[in-house]
Amino acid sequence: MTTTATDLAYLARVLKAPRISSCAGRLAEQARDGGWTHEEYLAAVLSQEVTSREASGASIRIRAAGFGTVKSLEDFNFEHQLGAKRDVIAHLATSSYLLDARNVVLLGPPGTGKTHLAIGLGVKAAHAGHRVLFASATEWVTRLQAAHQAGRLAAELTRLRRYPLLIVDEVGYIPFEQDAANLFFQLVSSRYEHASIILTSNLPFARWGDVFGDHAVASAMIDRIIHHADVLTLKGHSYRLKDTKLTLPSERAENKAH
Ligand SMILES: Nc1ncnc2c1ncn2[C@@H]1O[C@H](COP(=O)(O)OP(=O)(O)O)[C@@H](O)[C@H]1O
Ligand SMILES: [Mg+2]
């Protein structure tokens, strides 16, 4: 190694910017060949470091979000799901709704891609620098119950508000007891006009009263959720069964939710 390369390796280590030392030599050759100015060379080196930091920040946020299976919007087949307009999803993918604490609600029968889109949007948010947490509605309630029992519900809601995006998957699969419904209502209220939620549900809003066991609580909650929200209603048959001739009980006429 030349003295300069050794110096650079040392300086990059002190700056905790390892990409600088790994790309400085290669970019210097390109700079000499291409006749770059000193400023252009410096910008190229620094931007390598910034890009790699952003990428590792995003992957840390994606791991911390608890998605289970990571899904991407790029893998979503829009031809198969006409309820999700490509341009609407493309706009949501910019994550600008998070800056206005707007919500996204994905409704539709099982297997229509609600969880896939919710996770895909969560991944975009993580790439845009936002912290995200994903869990099912039942898991959220369990967490809030634990906080409540430990006498730190308010602190937990405050902590969660530091996350610009919470994803609440599968509202409606399991009905809530009254205390669970109240805790869920508190979660929604605490985020109202402060921070975003993406919710998925197999039930239309008209049936949420049954989930929360109380039409007044359900109405007050829906009101807060949809005041500033994009509501997407997905349609069709389950993607999971697309290559079979099976139908789900929920798709049969007598059991249609909407
Ligand atoms: N339009 C689609 N394009 C690609 N994959 C899809 C699409 N819709 C659903 N899937 C896939 O089918 C499975 C079921 O979708 P999921 O999002 O879990 O449905 P839901 O949450 O509505 O029940 C997942 O593996 C998902 O990735
Ligand atoms: Mg789902």
pLDDT digits (tens, 9 = 90+) for 177-233: 999 999 999 999 999 999 999 999 999 999 999 999 989 999 999 999 999 999 999
Indicate the pLDDT class of residue 1, thresholds 50, 70 and 90: low
Neighbours of ion ligand 2 (CB under 5 A): 115
DSSP the chain: --HHHHHHHHHHHHTT-HHHHHHHHHHHHHHHHHT--HHHHHHHHHHHHHHHHHHHHHHHHHHHHT-SS---GGG--TTT-TTS-HHHHHHHTTTGGGGGT-EEEEE-STTSSHHHHHHHHHHHHHHTT--EEEEEHHHHHHHHHHHHHTT-HHHHHHHHHTSSEEEEEEETSSPPPHHHHHHHHHHHHHHTTTSEEEEEESS-GGGHHHHHT-HHHHHHHHHHHHHTEEEEE--SS-GGGTTS----GGGSGGG---
What pLDDT does 207 receive?
A: 93
Same domain, 83 and 179: yes
The mean per-residue pLDDT over the stretch 77-89 comes to: 92
Q: What is the pLDDT of residue 154?
A: 97
Q: 205 in ligand 1 pocket by Cβ < 6 Å? A: no
Q: What value does the mean pLDDT take over residues 230-249?
A: 84
What is the pTM for the complete model shown? 0.85
Shared domain check, 144 and 25:
no
> Are residues 163 and 180 part of one domain?
yes
- Judge if the beta carbon of residue 103 lies within 6 A of ligand 1: no
Measured from the CB, is residue 80 less than 6 Å from ligand 1? Answer: yes
Same structural domain, 111 and 80: yes
Q: Is the CB of 115 under 6 A from ligand 1?
A: yes
Is 112 a pocket residue for ligand 1 (Cβ < 6 Å)?
A: yes
76 lines ligand 1 (CB under 6 A): yes
Q: What is the mean pLDDT of residues 137-149?
A: 97
Same domain, 16 and 107: no
Residues 44 and 86 in one domain: no
The closest residue, in CA terms, to atom 27 on ligand 1 is 116
| Cα of 120 from ligand 2 centre, angstroms | 12
Ligand nearest to the CA of 238: 1
Give percent above pLDDT 90 in the chain. Answer: 82
Residue 252 has pLDDT above 70, yes or no: no
Q: Residues 36-48: what's their mean pLDDT?
A: 96
Question: What total of structural domains would you count in the chain?
Answer: 2
pLDDT given for residue 238 in this prediction:
87
Q: Are 51 and 94 in the same domain?
A: no
Query: Could you tell me if 73 and 35 lie in one domain?
Result: no
Domain span at 235: 66-255
Q: Specify whether 128 is located in the same domain as 251.
A: yes
33, 58, 83 — which closes off a domain? 58
119 and 216 share a domain? yes
CATH value at residue 128 = 3.40.50.300
37 with 151, same domain? no
At 4 the pLDDT is 87
- Are 43 and 155 members of one domain? no
